[in-house]
Amino acid sequence: MARITSQIDTGSDSFLANAAHNRGLAEELRRRQQDARFKRPQRDLDRLARQDKMFLRDRLEALLDPGTPFLELSTLAANMAYDGDVPGAGQMSGIGIVSGREVIIHADDASVKGGAWYPLSVKKIIRTLDIAIENRLPVIHLCDSAGGFLPLQRDLFADRYYAGRIFRNQSILSKMGVPQLSVVLGHCTAGGAYIPALSDYSVIVRGTGAIFLGGPPLVKAATGEEVTVEELGGADMHTSVSGTADYPAASEAHAFAIAREIVGQWTVADKTGIDWIEPEEPYYDPQELYGILPRDSRTVFDMRELIARIADGSRFHEYQPAYGTTLICGYARIWGYKVGILANNGVLFNDSSLKGAHFIQLCDKNRTPLLFLQNITGFMVGKEYERRGISKDGAKLIMAVSGASVPKFTINCNGAFGAGVYGMSGRAFDPRFMFTWPGAGTSVMGAEQAANVLSDIKIRQLAREGRSLSEEEIAAIREPVLEDYKREQSAYYATSELWDDGILDPVDTRNALGICISAALNAPIEQPHYGVFRL
């Protein structure tokens, strides 16, 4: 495969200005991630110490194989919700190696509101288990939760993708033969009790771990019975009397030693074989990504320059290089794995949509996972394009994206606006993993256009009532809309709401994809089959 020849002048003013801007965004991301992981009110850390509990990050150290990669997901979930008081939505999710096996870890963070489940906590746990189901990844639950956050119970209890889905997903994993282990490090109350109960294996720490449907105060209120935590649901009771938990542990360190040995008993599943060769670092320095991404997301740039800094050896075999040129399609390798890349170099026209749909089917037949690099402002609009059938050609691309059997991975590199997102494997199209770069926006249309559309509607409404507006009055309508839109289309908002699996520093993209592709290959790939393409 030929190496991409970069056209970038790394000494140009615009490159240097872009680099300064995007490095700033990456630094801000790292600072916010660091805070979400470690910054806690002192009283919460003191409480953990008093309870003789380890901090979540120390628990991870004790559980994981040293010196192995760990990909944390949705670190900044809930960063723009609940007044910013619930970092990470009070949950940690990530893919790592335990006793030589690839696993996904879900952990309650007891240093955040006692590990209480907020609506976004529930969404994050369900997403973690959806990843486990889609990729057949064994799960380790680190349980330490106060239970559902009652003031917001209506947003976390009853609906299809609310708390019950956690336990449904656990049951489905078991049915699929994907093992789960719970380490009970704190209380598992009410619904939370089902996490260890539905796991194949569970370890419980004496003195701090407990499992019960109703805690001592609730039991007292309900029946008048007075009972201690240890009697009601402690380690010795559950491991010697009820059989709800399997292994008693004398301390958290002891529990993690037992947990690691249990995981060591799990048979390592054969991975799905796809085309792989020895990996090669990109020829062009990934640090140059900072200088390529524009300061203003509306500035056009060539996505081949990004591919050159993500793909092994910067090598790329471009498919149909002269046709439908606003959608770049072609083969490359990431950490040695062959992938088919679709990347936007402009709006989607009829020809680019057809090219994309065709290329997806080629990759599917070829057993080649798909990587979507989004920089999309939509499908082309207008009389000419509708007459050529832009809607039905877009439908073909969406049909291909939805139907593809090979794993899909999506990165929003610069922007994901409008219906084009559907054709580029947005969140709703079940990419196995989806990440956003710090400067990339997500919304049904750009902020400027949305503000104009909404203020136009208002102006016309008032005009019908015979009123006209001054420049200032128009600005007064337009500005708040623009502000709201900008806030809600930011990468931080998208990740806060779990529209993705996390924000990535662009230079970390290749490593993250390597872990994701490896994880995805734990699941078999179905034979290609599709719905009806409107020809």
Residues in touch with other proteins (CB under 8 A): 61-68, 206-207, 236, 248-251, 253-254, 256-258, 260-261
The set of residues, in sequence order, having a beta carbon less than 8 Å from that of 96 and lying 6+ positions away, is 60, 64, 65, 68, 69, 70, 71, 102, 103, 105
Query: Measured between alpha carbons, how far is 126 from 131 in angstroms, rounded to an integer?
Result: 9
CB nearer other proteins, residue 229 or residue 481: 229
* Shortest reach from residue 68's CB to other proteins, in Å: 6
The DSSP annotation for 265-280 comes to TSPPPPPPP--B----
CB nearer other proteins, residue 27 or residue 61: 61
The answer to whether 174 and 202 have CB atoms below 8 angstroms apart is no
The answer to whether 373 and 415 have CB atoms below 8 angstroms apart is no
* Shortest reach from residue 182's CB to other proteins, in Å: 17
The answer to whether 112 and 90 have CB atoms below 8 angstroms apart is yes
CB nearer other proteins, residue 77 or residue 235: 235
Q: How far is CA 212 from CA 198, 241, 352, in A?
A: 13, 14, 57
CB nearer other proteins, residue 62 or residue 459: 62
Say whether 202 sits in a helix, a strand or coil: strand
* Shortest reach from residue 247's CB to other proteins, in Å: 9
CB nearer other proteins, residue 19 or residue 258: 258
Bridge-based pairing state of the strands 101-108 and 139-145: parallel
CB nearer other proteins, residue 67 or residue 273: 67
The set of residues, in sequence order, having a beta carbon less than 8 Å from that of 244 and lying 6+ positions away, is 196, 197, 202, 211, 233, 238
* Shortest reach from residue 252's CB to other proteins, in Å: 9
* Shortest reach from residue 381's CB to other proteins, in Å: 49
CB nearer other proteins, residue 1 or residue 257: 257
Q: Which amino acid is at 407?
A: P
* Shortest reach from residue 254's CB to other proteins, in Å: 4
Query: Measured between alpha carbons, how far is 195 from 55 in angstroms, rounded to an integer?
Result: 20
Task: Name the nearest CA neighbour of 438 among 527, 502, 347.
Answer: 502
* Shortest reach from residue 364's CB to other proteins, in Å: 32
